[in-house]
Amino acid sequence: MSLKPFVYWAQTENDIFLKVDVKKVQGEPDVTIEEEEIEFTARGVGSQGDGLLQRYHFLVEFFLPIDPGRSVVDVVEDKEIRICLKKKDADWWPRLLYEQKKLAWLKIDFEKWKTNDTDDSENDEASKLLQDGLSATDALRQKYPDVYRKLQKEELGFISESRRKIYLFIYNLFMFTGFLMAFAIINIQYAKQGEEFVPKTFKFVGNILKMLHLLMVLEILHPMFGYTKGSVKEASLQVGMRNFILFAMIEAEPRMQEKPVVFYLFLIYIVMELIRYPYYMLRTYDIEIGFVTWLRYTAWIPLYPAGFVCEGVIMLRNIPYFEETGLFSVSLPNTLNFAFHFPSLIRTFLLFGFFPVLYTMMNYMYQLRCKRLKIKQHKLNRPKKED
């Protein structure tokens, strides 16, 4: 079992300062500093270990990226560990953590605090307030009341995160329930009708999947507005591709709706989401179950390529249908003097875009898997943060 050390933090416009309250450190502390987080492990004597030698560990995800190459770790013998982190961009952080939450072991180092709009004379005046017998908290309250109120609200946790978490939990629960309903319908109808059900799959669950995939557009907005840490780019690719397949490739062409490939594609979509959304529900409240995490970051290995193959088959088989109907194409002459041939767009994507999109998604998921399951990566960039 690891204990959490008391960690005191302060900032300037360019730096973040961490003071870790661990004394008599045995050996070198294990400190991993990355752009978006810091992980600390050390054996020593801390305030929460009853004066005994204990293992201390913490992981902090930063509000904004820092520059790991310019950051410094300094062990002050028998006293504390000091860490200086260089901000990637000169900016004033409203809080240290990415998420707006209160951690009992993370505290503000008021004595080292400097506001982004104070000069040396003002900071000297603040120091005098400390010398006059006021506590650091009272000195900050008197000299910089606006900063103090902001810290009270944002850093010390007086503003609850419950609304955001409740919304995310309900959203993920709703999506999980919807896909579970579609899965149940497919299994019940297949058990009743056997192979005769395969061409009827879209008729039975098409509307459910269309509604759920329209709601998935929110998953592009969640990281955009800071509700989650996922990548907007990858979310846009996945949600956009799925909606394109559902609405432009299947919904718009009734002859495609009866093909067996639609049955297999829907099963792949459903299984992927039945694995994904329970994981997100647990992560909303920082609950992690090893098997669920492993399944979330392993099941995509066979499912992603299988899904892409089905999508590619649907697009390929739709080309003659769209050649025949002219749907989504624009022919000359017209008032705008503009021509567009939709089957040519499909061919271009299959030739030049299909494999790059597959590679992008597979590479992104591989990086996430390495990060979450702590697997060593080989010459790959670190992933962006997820939901």
Mark whether 241 and 265 lie in a shared domain.
Answer: yes
Whether 387 is in a domain gets the answer: no
Mark whether 139 and 193 lie in a shared domain.
Answer: no
pLDDT at 134 > cutoff 70: no
Mark whether 41 and 26 lie in a shared domain.
Answer: yes
Whether 382 is in a domain gets the answer: no
Q: What is the DSSP letter of 159?
A: S
> Closest by alpha carbon to 359, among 272, 234, 255?
234
More confident residue, 1 or 347: 347
Mark whether 63 and 132 lie in a shared domain.
Answer: no
Whether 380 is in a domain gets the answer: no
The whole-number pLDDT of residue 127 equals 46
Residue 258: which domain range?
Answer: 162-372
Whether 377 is in a domain gets the answer: no
Average pLDDT, stretch 184-196?
Answer: 96
Of 65, 85, 108, which residue sits at a domain end? 108
> What is the DSSP secondary-structure string of 319-347?
HHHHHHH-TT-B-SS-TT---B-HHHHHH
Mark whether 83 and 215 lie in a shared domain.
Answer: no
pLDDT at 325 > cutoff 50: yes
Whether 24 is in a domain gets the answer: yes
Whether 75 is in a domain gets the answer: yes
Q: How far apart are the C-alpha atoms of 110 and 113, rounded to whole Å? A: 5
Mark whether 218 and 335 lie in a shared domain.
Answer: yes
Mark whether 135 and 260 lie in a shared domain.
Answer: no
Mark whether 178 and 223 lie in a shared domain.
Answer: yes
| 253-269 confidence digits (pLDDT tens) | 999 999 999 999 999 99
Radius of gyration of the chain (CA): 27
Mark whether 94 and 138 lie in a shared domain.
Answer: no
Average pLDDT, stretch 37-42?
Answer: 90
Mark whether 240 and 144 lie in a shared domain.
Answer: no
Average pLDDT, stretch 283-311?
Answer: 93
- Between 106-110, 267-271, 323-327, 379-383, the lowest mean confidence (pLDDT) is in 379-383
How many domains does the structure of the chain reveal?
A: 3
| 81-106 confidence digits (pLDDT tens) | 889 999 988 777 878 888 777 788 88
The whole-number pLDDT of residue 229 equals 76
pTM flag (> 0.75): no
Mark whether 81 and 224 lie in a shared domain.
Answer: no
Mark whether 129 and 266 lie in a shared domain.
Answer: no
